[in-house]
Structure 1
Amino acid sequence: MGISITGLSGFDTAKMVSDLMELERIPYKNLSTKKTNLQSEQTVFRSINTAFSSLSTALNNLRYAADWNKLKATSDSNAVSVSSTNGVAAGSYTVNVQQLATKNVVEVDSSYILSKVEEAASSGQELKIGSYTFTEEDLQSIQDAGDSEAQLKKLANIINTNTAAENGSNATASVLKTSSSGDFKLVLNSKTTGAGDNNSVSFTLANSSIIDHNTTDENGKIAVTNKEGKDAILEVNGVTVTRNSNTFDDLISGITFTVNSTGNSNINVGQDVDNIVANVKSFVTAYNNLISMVRNNLAKPEDDSKMNPLQGDSLLKQIDSQLYSLFNSVVDTSGGKAWMEQVGLSIDKGITKGSEMTGKITFDEEAFKEALANDPQKVIELFTKPQQEADPDTATPAKPGGIITELTSIMGYYNSTVNGMLNTKITGYDAEIKMIDDRMEQMERRLEMTEARLKLQFGTMETMLSTLNSQKDWLTSQFDALTKK
């Protein structure tokens, strides 16, 4: 008869160890999942903290009354464009542009100017434009260029190539085709505008000008037309002023006038409304970005089977409530009670369904400009009025400040790098995540020891099974030998 020890061989011990370790790792995996969730939540609070910082930056140009009272020069016509710097004084100016500053323009017939080039080359006389003296190589290259058009273009190129040098030409040159039959002119423009020799084109041969007014060639034909440069002439509040440029940057302190055409302009230096509007837009964008982050993380997911991990977070609910209450608060100003909707800023304008409300600001730019024009002080105080501390001596209670003032205080409470609530929250996550990391590290060491122990135990079992199988085979052979007899 045979002996059989069932189930003691053929086991996949490696899989058995792996399956057992999977069970052992369940607490470790749970901790890892918890760590991932905490990191995701922490990322949300970091983003909200950053959004607070962005909002703080956006408020920098709205925080104080001085930010609202910066002045800017504006013009009511295209005849004069203006720009201004900080510190410009308020005022108004009537400007009449009578004449623009122009460059000295010289038109020279091709045959006439090329004959002067040939004369200079053959006689060795000095040909100069401005402070630049044509070299022998220059003169030869012009003559070798080809037909008159090519020679003229070569001449213009030499002038333009040397216009920026210290001893260069005082003009820029171009070649103009004046008729279909192939007549060409060299056109010279002085580098600067204005009347006088300093702003004129100088072109000489042997120290004698070759571009005088109405210069004629050898046949008596007018070969040169020389249009003198002119100064710009303005009449400002009845006073006539001139400059050799179309830019007047020293006429009125803090204002630069640029004249573009003749005509009248009214210049006003007043509150820089466009800059204020741009700053309010930046504030609205930053506020909406912050409130969207807060509400998106508080919102219940559309899928009822899922849950937002921060859906009921008390800190986010507190931020949402405070921002909403602040924005809808009433501020006592010198012009009476004021609130944001009066100046064109509304929350969830036109939305009546609670589920569709986002908490975002809608900015009516035209309504804001109108309110600012009608009562600028009231609008400024609505945003910037300082907080009033309580005075126990007079029993005067504390009074809140303007919207930006109060918002700045709220942001300090949440966004302070020292003890702000958001930074405290983020630091708390750091501590909790570190604690999980420590537990996971300890657990990992225990798991390694458990796995080593299981491998040793199963290895011992395999050895014992191998021994038992060997004994079984020996006993079986002994019984088989006995039964054969």
Structure 2
Amino acid sequence: MGISLPGLASNLDTTSLINAIMSQEKVPYKNFETKKTAVTNNKTIFNNINLKLKALRDAAINLSDVDSFKANGANISDSSKLTAIVDASTATGNYAIKIITLAKQQVNATNAIALNDSDGKKIKLSSDDLESEIRVEGINEPFILKNMGLTLDNTVEEALNKVANEINKNKDSNVQASVIQTADGAKSIVLMGKESGKSIAMSGTGLFSTLTTKVTAEPATIEINGVPITSSSNTIKDAIPGVTLQLLADKSSVNMEIKQDQDKIAEKVQAFVDAYNNVVSLIRENTKKITNEKNSDGSYKNFKTNLQGDSMLRDLQREMGDIISSITGPNDQYRLLDQIGIEIDKGITRGAEMTGKISFDKALFKQKLADNPSVVEEMFKGDRGLGTLFKDNLNNYTKANGLMQIKLDGYDREIKFIDSQMESLQTRLILREEALKKQYAQLEVNMSKLNSQKTWMTNQLAALTASAKSS
């Protein structure tokens, strides 16, 4: 770094002079900084628009999909007796369902086993107790107390808990064991089959000799439109193609209607409308005209690229609006989208108040869908339907090498160029400042020499003047 000697000889504030000169010299650099910020901001805006467009494209795909309007649901007369899950493509129809019996899991249990003696003390295992065992079908080895590490020091209660835990840990076990309190100071071990309708052989000796069947495994039995059906589970799948029934109460009858689920379809349309409005709002928000005022030093106060004139955004807005306006139906009741509840700037007549957003009348849409589902469906998923056109057109913008990515790549190149220009300019500014410091330092040196010569000459003249007077 050079050395500045501010005003020692010249009485000039050379530091301030250099700072003033460099302030002007740095104006182009500051403009590069603000321009880079603006370009980066615009890249962020386009990236956000791209993300919103992809969300709109996905919503359009959901409307144009072959099964988009096959969202069927079940209307059940009593959902406390029966519930149903319906696949989207399930055929519509009416069904009378009679639930005769629910499927039951087998339950075996022992009688109450005393845990305490007459004095209230915990009863410990006897030698005979250690030979006690439980056998369960499907498990090769019996559960014998003496083989579980239990001894005469263990209590009966500990033995019950131990055998229940060992049964539950066994990977081959098709029963679930538990210990329940049946009376004060007495418990029972309970074994429940894991599958409904499946019988399991179980037996016990010693402490478990009273293990007997309390609930017999039974299948579920129902009738659908008079046709008898048996199931090992209370969940019955595909007795009606595409429908999973969950039985909740036996000895009951319900009516079930499979029909188009208008709410689910309306949700897809609402998702599209929301995604469309998000894109429109983001574009309009970032295409307002901006006046770039300058500071006194020539730098911009708020330098931004004017997106108002961006041709891509103009084309995108126009294309989106044109698609909405181009959708037509086959007759006077289904001619335009606003007749089925979708309208741009509904009720707005003044241009200054228009937003370009879509309103969605869900009630009107559901009514039109119920009245003529095939026509409404065609207006969304046909070759010239709303979902189809948006899906195809937006793909040109959102695909990997689409228009939005080309735009973003252009911003990247511009930022890279600005960075290189700033780096080069910064180097020149550093050299310029060093040169100024050296020049002013040399000025001070030269001024110091001149001042010294001036002082010498003044002294010489003073001496000659004094000599002349004395002679």
Q: TM-score band, normalised by the shorter chain?
A: 0.7 to 0.9
Number of residue pairs matched by the alignment: 440
Q: 2:454 aligns with which of 472, 481, 484?
A: 472
Aligned counterpart, 1:258: 246
Q: 1:320 aligns with which of 313, 317, 326?
A: 317
Q: 1:173 aligns with which of 178, 182, 188?
A: 178
The answer to whether the 8 A contact 1:193-1:231 is kept is no
Task: Provide the rounded CA distance (Å) in 2 between the counterparts of 1:296 and 1:456.
Answer: 51
Matched, 1:39 2:44: no
Aligned counterpart, 1:14: 15
Aligned counterpart, 2:440: 458
Task: Provide the rounded CA distance (Å) in 2 between the counterparts of 1:153 and 1:366.
Answer: 65
Q: Deviations over 1:45-76 (max 9, x none)?
A: 22212211121112222124443235555644
Matched, 1:410 2:393: yes
CA separation of 1:212 and 1:442: change in aligned 2, threshold 3 A: closer
Task: Provide the rounded CA distance (Å) in 2 between the counterparts of 1:106 and 1:12.
Answer: 104
* 2:106 aligned counterpart, secondary structure: strand
| Superposition pairs of residues 301-316 of structure 1, within 5 angstroms | 309-311=306-308, 313-316=310-313
- Shift, 1:471, TM fit: 2.3
- Shift, 1:97, TM fit: 0.9
The answer to whether the 8 A contact 2:328-2:337 is kept is no
Task: Provide the rounded CA distance (Å) in 2 between the counterparts of 1:101 and 1:134.
Answer: 32
Task: Provide the rounded CA distance (Å) in 2 between the counterparts of 1:139 and 1:442.
Answer: 83
The answer to whether the 8 A contact 1:121-1:139 is kept is no
Task: Provide the rounded CA distance (Å) in 2 between the counterparts of 1:21 and 1:248.
Answer: 84
With 429-438 and 125-134 compared, the bigger mean Cα shift is at 429-438
Aligned counterpart, 2:229: 241
* 1:289 aligned counterpart, secondary structure: helix
The answer to whether the 8 A contact 2:114-2:187 is kept is no
* 2:217 aligned counterpart, secondary structure: coil
Task: Provide the rounded CA distance (Å) in 2 between the counterparts of 1:196 and 1:323.
Answer: 60
| Superposition pairs of residues 68-467 of structure 1, within 5 angstroms | 68-69=69-70, 71=72, 75-78=76-79, 79-85=81-87, 88-106=90-108, 108-111=110-113, 121-122=127-128, 124-128=130-134, 130=136, 131=139, 132-136=142-146, 140=150, 144-145=154-155, 151-152=156-157, 155-156=160-161, 158-166=163-171, 168=173, 170-176=175-181, 178=183, 182=184, 184-186=186-188, 188-195=190-197, 197-198=199-200, 202-205=202-205, 209-212=209-212, 226-249=214-237, 251-262=239-250, 263-299=252-288, 309-311=306-308, 313-333=310-330, 337-349=334-346, 355-386=352-383, 401-418=384-401, 420=403, 422-467=404-449
Task: Provide the rounded CA distance (Å) in 2 between the counterparts of 1:433 and 1:119.
Answer: 84
- Shift, 1:418, TM fit: 3.6
Aligned counterpart, 2:295: none
Q: Deviations over 1:81-130 (max 9, x none)?
A: 22244664554432111111223334544346999x97874265341153
Task: Provide the rounded CA distance (Å) in 1 between the counterparts of 2:238 and 2:153.
Answer: 48
Task: Provide the rounded CA distance (Å) in 2 between the counterparts of 1:429 and 1:113.
Answer: 81
Q: Deviations over 1:410-457 (max 9, x none)?
A: 32454454452x444444444544444444344334333322332232
Task: Provide the rounded CA distance (Å) in 2 between the counterparts of 1:139 and 1:128.
Answer: 16
Aligned counterpart, 1:220: none
Task: Provide the rounded CA distance (Å) in 2 between the counterparts of 1:484 and 1:428.
Answer: 83
CA separation of 1:129 and 1:462: change in aligned 2, threshold 3 A: farther
Task: Provide the rounded CA distance (Å) in 1 between the counterparts of 2:149 and 2:160.
Answer: 8
- Shift, 1:296, TM fit: 1.5
* 2:40 aligned counterpart, secondary structure: helix
Task: Provide the rounded CA distance (Å) in 2 between the counterparts of 1:320 and 1:364.
Answer: 23
TM-score, with length taken from structure 1: 0.76
* 1:265 aligned counterpart, secondary structure: strand
With 16-25 and 204-213 compared, the bigger mean Cα shift is at 204-213
The answer to whether the 8 A contact 1:129-1:170 is kept is no
* 1:188 aligned counterpart, secondary structure: strand
- Shift, 1:252, TM fit: 4.2
Task: Provide the rounded CA distance (Å) in 1 between the counterparts of 2:367 and 2:152.
Answer: 67
Task: Provide the rounded CA distance (Å) in 2 between the counterparts of 1:442 and 1:82.
Answer: 71
Kindly provide the amino acid, as one letter, of the partner of residue 160 in structure 2: L
Task: Provide the rounded CA distance (Å) in 1 between the counterparts of 2:174 and 2:409.
Answer: 69
Aligned counterpart, 1:3: none
With 6-15 and 255-264 compared, the bigger mean Cα shift is at 6-15
The answer to whether the 8 A contact 1:65-1:380 is kept is no
TM-score, with length taken from structure 2: 0.78
Aligned counterpart, 1:223: none
Task: Provide the rounded CA distance (Å) in 1 between the counterparts of 2:396 and 2:212.
Answer: 78
* 2:279 aligned counterpart, secondary structure: helix
Kindly provide the amino acid, as one letter, of the partner of residue 457 in structure 1: Q
Aligned counterpart, 2:53: 52
CA separation of 1:159 and 1:431: change in aligned 2, threshold 3 A: closer
Kindly provide the amino acid, as one letter, of the partner of residue 355 in structure 2: T
CA separation of 1:111 and 1:83: change in aligned 2, threshold 3 A: same
The answer to whether the 8 A contact 2:113-2:207 is kept is no
* 2:180 aligned counterpart, secondary structure: strand
Task: Provide the rounded CA distance (Å) in 2 between the counterparts of 1:423 and 1:208.
Answer: 74
Task: Provide the rounded CA distance (Å) in 2 between the counterparts of 1:87 and 1:232.
Answer: 27
Task: Provide the rounded CA distance (Å) in 1 between the counterparts of 2:181 and 2:273.
Answer: 56
Q: Relative contact order (alpha carbons < 8 A, sep ≥ 6): 1 or 2 greater?
A: 2
The answer to whether the 8 A contact 1:142-1:152 is kept is no
Percentage of pairs with the same residue = 29
The answer to whether the 8 A contact 1:335-1:378 is kept is no
Task: Provide the rounded CA distance (Å) in 1 between the counterparts of 2:326 and 2:456.
Answer: 97
* 1:331 aligned counterpart, secondary structure: coil
* 1:240 aligned counterpart, secondary structure: strand
The answer to whether the 8 A contact 2:177-2:190 is kept is yes
Kindly provide the amino acid, as one letter, of the partner of residue 443 in structure 2: M
Task: Provide the rounded CA distance (Å) in 1 between the counterparts of 2:111 and 2:221.
Answer: 32
Gaps of 5+ in 2: 1-6, 118-122, 291-300
CA separation of 1:418 and 1:194: change in aligned 2, threshold 3 A: closer
Root mean square deviation of aligned Cα: 3.8
Kindly provide the amino acid, as one letter, of the partner of residue 128 in structure 1: I
Q: Deviations over 1:163-195 (max 9, x none)?
A: 1313558332132354xxx36442624132445
